[in-house]
C-alpha cells in the first residue's frame, strides 16, 4: 500500500480509537518514568480524560454517514457508534472505581492497570467497527489478553493468581474454537470481509455444503459465547469475578460482556443472514433450537446456582451469567427490534451492575470480606448505600419502575411478538426471573432486617458520584425509557448495519 493510498483514507472516522491509543501509550511512558513511591492516581484522571475525549469524538460523529476505510475492514456506522457509547461510558465509570480502589498488593501494579484497561477498551471498540474476520479477531484478542493480565494484578493473592490462570486456559480454548469456526467460514466463502462473506453465502454452490455451514455456525457461536459467559463456557466467570480486583470484575461484567454481544451481532448476523440452511432457505431459522437451548440453559444455570452463593462476588458472577441468558433471547426471536432490545438492556445493565459493584467495593474494603454478611444492618449504618443498592437489586431482578424491568419486558414481549411465538422460552425466562428474586431479595433482607455491628461506611467522593449517577439513571430509565429509546432512534439507523450485503464496492467506500 503506497503513501498516496494511505493518505486517501478518511482517518478522522477513527478519531475515538486514536485518542484511546494515544492516551494508553502516553500512560505507559509516564508510568515508566514515575518514581515507584509516587501516587498513580493522576494516571487515572488522565485515562478518564482520554475516555471522555473519545466519547466526545463519538458524539461529534453521530451525523457522519456510513464510512469505511482500509478496504472495508474498518467501518463507522450506526451500529458501531451506538455500542461504542456503551463501551466508553462503562470504562469511564470503572476508571472512577479503580482510582478509589485501595489494596496494598496492587499499588505497585496500579500504573499498568490503567493502560491495560484502555488497551482492552481499544480492542472492544475495534470489534464494534470491524467488517473483516481478521480485524475482528485482532480486536477480540487485544481485549482478551489485557483482561487476562488485569484479572491477575494482585500478584500476592492466590485467588487472583488462580482466577487469572483459569481465565487464560479457558479463554485460550474458546479462542481456538472460535478460530476453528471462522476458518470454515473463510474456507467455504473464500473471503474475510463480512459483507463479501454474506454476499457469497447466496452462491447456489453453497447449497451443497449446508452441513458444513451449520457446523461453522455452531462452532463459532459456541466459541464466542465464552466472552458473554453463557453456558456451557461459563465456568470461568465465578472464579475470575471472585479473584480479580473489584474494578476489574466490574469491567468484565459490563464492558467485556457488551463487547461479547457486539462481536456476536457483528459476525453472526451479518455473516449468516443470507446463509442457506440444510432443509430450508435460512440457516438462522434452522439454528434457532440450538440458540434457544443455550439461552434457556444459561438462564437456569445462572439463577439456580446463584441461590447457594454466600460470596457476594460469586453471586454476582452467576447473576451475570443469567443476564447473558436473557440477552440471548432476542437472538432466538430475530425480531426487527433485535438491536434496540439488546442495546437498551445493556445500557440498563451497565448502570445497575456498576452501581452495585461500587457499593461492593466500598463494603469489601471496609469489612475485609466478600461474604454477604457485610450487608448486615446496612440500612441502619449507611442508608445512603442501602437505598441505592436496593434499587440496583430490584432492577437486576426486573421489578417495575426500574430500567431492568423495561429491558426484560421488551425482551419478553419480543419472544412472544413474532410467529411462531416462543412460549416455552418466555416461560423459562419468567420462571428463572422469579428464582432470581430469592437471592436478590435475600441481600435486601440482610440490609434492612438483620442487625449488624460496624461503623458507618465512608464513601469517597468519586465513588459517591458514580453511585448517584447510576442510581438516578436506573430509576429514570425505568420511569422514562423513551429518553434512551428516542436518543437511539434519533441518532442511529440500524438499517445501515445491513447495507452492502448484496453488493460491496470497497473502492467506492475507501475513497
CA angle 33–34–39, rounded 5-degree value: 165
pLDDT band at 507 (very low <50, low <70, confident <90, very high): very low
Domain ranges of the chain: 16-286, 289-492
Give me the mean pLDDT over the 185-190 stretch: 92
Least confident of 410-419, 477-486, 501-510: 501-510
d(CA 243, CA 385): 24
Give me the mean pLDDT over the 111-131 stretch: 94
| Among 109-118, 201-210, 430-439, the range of highest mean pLDDT | 430-439
Least Cα distance to 197 among 179, 209, 184, 212 occurs for: 184
SS3 of residue 481 by DSSP: coil
Peptide bond into 420 cis (omega under 30): yes
Summarised one tens digit per residue, pLDDT across range 240-249 is 999 999 999 9
Least confident of 93-102, 172-181, 295-304, 476-485: 93-102
Do residues 310 and 372 touch, judged by C-beta distance below 8 A? yes
Is pLDDT of 421 > 90? no
pLDDT band at 236 (very low <50, low <70, confident <90, very high): very high
Q: Which residues contact 205 (CB under 8 A, 6 or more apart)?
A: none
pLDDT band at 109 (very low <50, low <70, confident <90, very high): low
pTM of the model: 0.94
State the chain's mean pLDDT as an integer.
89
d(CA 250, CA 361): 10
Polymer length of the chain: 511
DSSP secondary structure letters along 131-198? -BHHHHHHHHHHHHHHHHHHHT--TT-HHHHHHHHHHHHHHHHHHHHHHHHHHHHHHHHS--BHHHHH
Summarised one tens digit per residue, pLDDT across range 451-463 is 877 678 888 899 9
SS3 of residue 293 by DSSP: helix
User: H or E element: which one contains 74?
Assistant: strand 74-76
Least confident of 103-112, 258-267, 309-318: 103-112
Is pLDDT of 494 > 50? yes
Residue with the larger pLDDT of the pair 316 and 31: 316
Is pLDDT of 105 > 60? no
pLDDT band at 23 (very low <50, low <70, confident <90, very high): very high
Summarised one tens digit per residue, pLDDT across range 215-230 is 999 999 999 999 899 9
Is pLDDT of 83 > 90? yes
Q: Which cell is 9 given?
A: 483514507
Can you name the residues that pair with 67 across neighbouring β-strands?
Answer: 76
Residue 281 burial (C-beta neighbours within 10 Å; 0-12, 13-18, 19+): exposed
d(CA 426, CA 66): 36
d(CA 222, CA 226): 7
Least confident of 81-90, 127-136, 155-164, 497-506: 497-506
Amino acid at each position: 500500500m503506497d503513501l498516496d493510498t494511505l493518505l486517501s483514507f478518511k482517518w478522522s472516522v477513527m478519531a475515538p480509537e486514536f485518542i484511546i491509543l494515544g492516551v494508553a501509550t502516553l500512560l505507559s511512558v509516564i508510568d515508566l518514568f514515575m518514581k515507584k513511591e509516587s501516587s498513580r492516581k493522576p494516571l487515572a484522571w488522565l485515562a478518564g480524560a482520554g475516555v471522555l475525549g473519545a466519547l466526545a469524538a463519538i458524539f461529534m460523529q453521530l451525523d457522519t454517514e456510513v464510512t469505511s476505510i482500509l478496504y472495508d475492514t474498518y467501518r463507522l456506522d450506526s451500529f458501531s457508534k451506538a455500542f461504542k457509547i456503551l463501551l466508553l461510558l462503562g470504562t469511564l465509570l470503572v476508571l472512577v472505581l479503580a482510582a478509589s480502589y485501595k489494596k496494598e498488593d496492587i499499588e505497585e501494579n496500579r500504573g499498568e492497570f490503567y493502560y491495560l484497561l484502555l488497551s482492552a477498551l481499544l480492542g472492544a471498540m475495534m470489534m464494534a467497527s470491524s467488517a473483516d474476520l481478521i480485524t475482528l479477531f485482532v480486536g477480540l484478542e487485544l481485549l482478551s489478553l489485557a483482561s487476562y493480565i488485569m484479572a491477575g494484578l494482585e500478584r500476592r493473592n492466590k485467588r487472583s493468581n488462580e482466577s487469572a490462570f483459569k481465565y487464560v486456559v479457558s479463554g485460550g480454548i474458546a479462542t481456538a474454537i472460535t478460530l476453528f469456526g471462522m476458518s470454515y467460514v473463510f474456507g467455504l466463502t473464500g473471503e474475510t470481509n463480512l459483507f463479501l462473506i454474506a454476499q457469497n453465502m447466496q452462491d447456489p454452490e453453497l447449497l451443497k455444503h449446508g452441513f458444513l455451514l451449520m457446523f461453522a455456525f455452531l462452532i463459532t457461536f459456541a466459541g464466542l459465547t465464552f466472552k458473554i459467559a453463557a453456558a456451557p463456557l461459563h465456568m470461568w466467570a465465578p472464579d475470575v469475578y471472585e479473584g480479580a480486583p473489584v474494578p476489574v470484575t466490574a469491567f468484565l461484567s459490563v464492558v467485556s460482556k457488551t463487547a461479547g454481544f457486539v462481536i456476536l451481532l457483528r459476525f453472526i448476523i451479518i455473516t449468516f443472514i443470507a446463509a442457506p440452511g440444510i432443509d430450508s432457505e435460512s440457516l438462522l431459522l434452522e439454528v434457532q433450537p440450538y440458540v434457544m437451548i443455550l439461552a434457556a440453559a444459561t438462564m437456569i444455570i445462572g439463577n439456580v446456582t446463584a441461590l447457594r452463593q454466600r460470596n457476594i462476588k460469586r453471586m454476582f458472577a452467576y447473576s451475570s451469567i443469567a443476564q447473558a441468558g436473557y440477552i440471548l433471547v432476542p437472538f432466538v426471536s430475530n425480531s426487527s427490534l433485535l438491536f434496540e432490545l439488546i442495546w437498551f438492556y445493556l445500557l440498563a445493565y451497565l448502570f445497575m451492575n456498576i452501581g452495585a459493584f461500587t457499593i461492593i467495593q466500598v463494603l469489601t474494603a471496609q469489612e475485609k470480606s466478600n461474604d454477604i454478611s457485610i450487608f448486615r444492618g446496612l440500612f441502619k449504618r449507611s442508608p445512603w448505600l442501602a437505598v441505592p443498592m436496593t434499587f440496583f437489586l430490584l432492577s437486576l431482578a426486573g421489578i417495575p419502575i426500574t430500567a431492568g424491568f423495561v429491558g426484560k419486558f421488551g425482551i419478553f414481549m419480543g419472544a412472544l411478538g413474532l410467529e411462531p411465538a416462543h412460549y416455552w422460552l418466555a416461560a423459562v425466562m419468567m420462571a428463572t426471573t422469579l428464582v432470581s428474586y430469592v437471592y436478590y431479595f435475600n441481600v435486601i433482607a440482610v440490609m434492612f432486617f438483620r442487625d449488624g455491628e460496624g461503623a458507618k461506611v465512608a464513601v469517597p467522593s468519586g465513588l459517591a458520584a458514580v453511585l448517584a449517577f447510576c442510581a438516578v439513571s436506573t430509576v429514570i430509565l425505568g420511569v422514562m425509557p423513551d429518553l434512551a429509546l428516542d436518543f437511539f432512534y434519533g441518532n442511529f439507523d440500524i438499517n445501515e448495519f445491513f447495507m452492502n450485503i448484496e453488493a460491496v464496492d470497497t473502492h467506492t467506500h475507501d475513497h
